[in-house]
Amino acid sequence: MTTVGRGSVFAIYLASVLPSYLGNEQSGGRLTETSARTEVLHGHEFSYLDTGAGPVVLFIHGLLGSRRNWGKLVETLRTDFRVLAPDLFGHGASAKPMGDYSLGAHAATLRDLLDRLGIEKATLVGHSLGGGIALQFCYLFPQRVERLVLVSSGGLGRSVSPLLRSATLPGAEWVLPLIASTWVRERAEALGRGLNRLGWRASADVSEAWNGFASLADADSRRAFLATARSVIDPGGQTVTAHDHLPLAVEIPTLIVWGTRDRVIPTWHATTAQQAIPGSRVELFEGAGHFPHLTEPSRFARLLSEFMSRS
């Protein structure tokens, strides 16, 4: 198939699923932006939230996400913990440079952030791509990890949604500007508002999928998205696995959280991870999709607080 042909397939597929991802709620909740900070790391501006006091929790968002994904949790947990919630390079308010967007590069950036802040160890909470980054961080810098929490994590198997696989097809760089154009976004938002007036409310998965799609409005964000996606996914699925290294995490208390209706990364990845990490704990959120921490934020906050106090 030619590049144009593959790009057309990507366009048709994305257009066909777009209506099911409409919604404009900020399901992550509001953040205390007065706690937002910026550091220059690797020569580029790196934006992050730093709030609260106590044991350090480092939240790592997923592909097309940002620190705002953790908003409700940050507001709850900051009373007992020091919470760091960065925008990874290529996401949110952080720079979107040309360069390396691999899991190892992201892990090294987070290590450098901890160094800059004088933090020796932290509990890592990684969602989706962020889970893969957290696993890579554990492999590279195990002495810096207090505990590990994997939420709908990448890096635990080949399976991933067809939508993300299609985004890695050749030609996606030409199709994305059309799909994410102002014209398409404005009409999709209008449709979402109309559905809201009829009483329809977006789920956490729908809201965050839309927020991620809307973040691709500029060329730098699209380029960074494709570079990040292609570093971990190909048309056949996920290309990076941590399974060979999971037994090394046995010394790190590990909590694995998944939604039973995750359509992005299947729930059975949680079971295989638990089998590979003796002593790890799995919590399934019944009925939740790919964002269990947003579907039931209060439950997730209690679970995390309990895990940190007992492990």
Tell me which residue of 162, 169, 153 sits closest to 62, measured CA to CA: 153
- Long-range contacts made by residues 180-183, C-beta under 8 angstroms, separation at least 24? 180/213, 180/214, 180/216, 180/217, 180/222, 182/217
Choose, from 47, 66, 128, 215, the residue flagged as catalytic: 128
Whether 127 is catalytic: no
Q: Which two tokens stand for residue 231?
A: 């570093």
Q: Please give the single-letter amino acid code of residue 190.
A: A
Whether 290 is catalytic: yes
Helix, strand, coil share (%) of the chain residues, nearest 5: 50, 15, 35
What distance lies between CA 30 and its chain's CA centroid? 17
Q: Please give the single-letter amino acid code of residue 72.
A: K
Q: How far is residue 70's CA from residue 9's CA, in Å, rounded to a whole number?
A: 34
Choose, from 262, 269, 280, 293, the residue flagged as catalytic: 262
Q: Which alpha helices (DSSP H) does the chain contain, by range?
A: 3-17, 71-77, 103-117, 129-140, 162-166, 172-179, 182-197, 204-214, 219-232, 268-276, 292-295, 297-310
Choose, from 91, 127, 269, 290, the residue flagged as catalytic: 290
Tell me which residue of 296, 250, 297 sits closest to 273, measured CA to CA: 250
Could you give the residue numbers annotated as active site? 128, 262, 290
